[in-house]
Amino acid sequence: MHELPRTDGLVALHATARDVRATHLEFVLSTQRIMRLLLEEALGQLQHTDSTPTTPIGATFPGRVRVQRETFAVSVPRAGDALEAELRSIVPDARLGKILIQRDPQRKVPVFHWSKLPDGIAGKEVLLLDPMMATAGTVKMAVSVLAAAGVRPADIVLVNFLTCPEALGKLFAEYPEIRVVTSFVDEGLTEQAFMRPGIGDFGDRYYGTHG
């Protein structure tokens, strides 16, 4: 599990995004900056190998290059679409898919609706885009869908904006080999299963809607 370093800059962006008084624009701009940091770190978690490009002065640079040339990413709508949009700006030719999982309001459990995955995803490294992970139920279901499509949990990198120890414990208990990149691990859950101190409903705040 990799959590972004808590630099003053990152904490300041979180302070803006978490503030209940933040405007819609302030929330979007601050979270977009964090999501770019997350995605660059997640891309760096994919397998790399040595590369020695020649510079304009004829010298060589001891670099690294991705082993898997194509970037596969699967988002969990609606909040995951925000991460997908930022990924498109970084990797315009990324191969994208979606897994729709929604919470049943009566039973309070995640329910799988449908998936649309890119061709050739089996056996590949995949970025799983889901910003909020409070109980890990949705993420575990998404991982099971990817596994059924031939993606090994060890080849999945979860790109996550905010999580908590309870969710991480549940996820790693079932999928210890999955890789997680998050911007912040919160203190824990309230009795109502909200992350504390939390950020609110990410999708509603990002898209300016009300649940």
- Residue-wise pLDDT for 63-116, tens only, equals 999 999 999 999 999 999 999 999 999 999 999 999 999 988 777 789 999 999
- Residue-wise pLDDT for 164-202, tens only, equals 999 999 999 999 999 999 999 999 999 988 999 999 999
Mean per-residue pLDDT for 155-169? 99
d(CA 121, CA 95): 9
Mean per-residue pLDDT for 119-136? 98
Q: Please give the distance of CA 106 from its chain centroid, rounded to a whole number.
A: 27
**Structure pTM?**
0.95
Domains of the chain by start residue, with CATH = 2-47+66-207 (3.40.50.2020)
Q: What is the pLDDT, as a whole number, of residue 161?
A: 98
d(CA 178, CA 180): 7
